[in-house]
Amino acid sequence: MRSVTYSMNVSLDGYIVGPDGSFDWTAPDDEVFRFWIDEIREVDVHLLGRRLYETMLYWETADQDPSLDDSSLEWAALWKPLPKVVFSTTLSEVQGNARLVSGGLAEEIERLRAEPGQGEIAIGGATLAAEAAASDLIDEYRAVVYPVLVGGGIPFFPQDEHQVDLELVETRTFKSKFVYLRYRVAR
């Protein structure tokens, strides 16, 4: 069965965006960007909420930008064909290799897990991840921790007031002082 992973950049105090909604502090250096390129290679399908989908729309046409460096072009080449499932109650259509889902998250994950494939089912976006976590659907939490305190905003971890025991799978410290943490849910 394919695993469901939740991966995002996060501040040291646990937020994916700051109180003003900005995430300019999450711009990765070359080493971290290379890491995310390697991570996306392991994904078969990416589940996104509306906000993250709209943020990532840039990558659907980024390959047409002549100023992009080779790493950004490589990311775009991987992201564009990747199947995406968008959960939104406000969007009426989506672009690229994406489909809009009207059903529930749990049902969609169950359907995707039943399909053949070796790659991961990745979840992007804290709101969508919180819904998946509340239904105990996340198998791994992965975070690249940035050395910044933003003081509030949207938290990386769901605030649903129940304990989830985790097992450390991997850590990595980048030269730029970012830290990658990968935890598997203990079942």
pLDDT score for 102: 76
How many Å apart are CA 127 and CA 50, to the nearest integer? 10
pLDDT digits (tens, 9 = 90+) for 150-182: 999 999 987 777 889 999 999 999 998 899 999
Domains of the chain: 4-185 (3.40.430.10)
Q: Give the tokens for residue 2.
A: 């394919």
pLDDT, mean over the chain:
92
pLDDT score for 117: 85
CA distances from 180 to 57, 64, 104, 147 (A): 25, 31, 30, 12
pLDDT score for 47: 97
Q: Of the ranges 45-54, 66-75, 157-166, 167-176, which one carries the lowest mean pLDDT score?
A: 157-166
pLDDT score for 26: 84
pLDDT digits (tens, 9 = 90+) for 92-102: 999 999 999 97
Residues whose CB falls within 8 Å of the CB of residue 102, separated by 6 or more in sequence, listed in order = none
pLDDT score for 84: 97
Q: Give the tokens for residue 78.
A: 């991987």
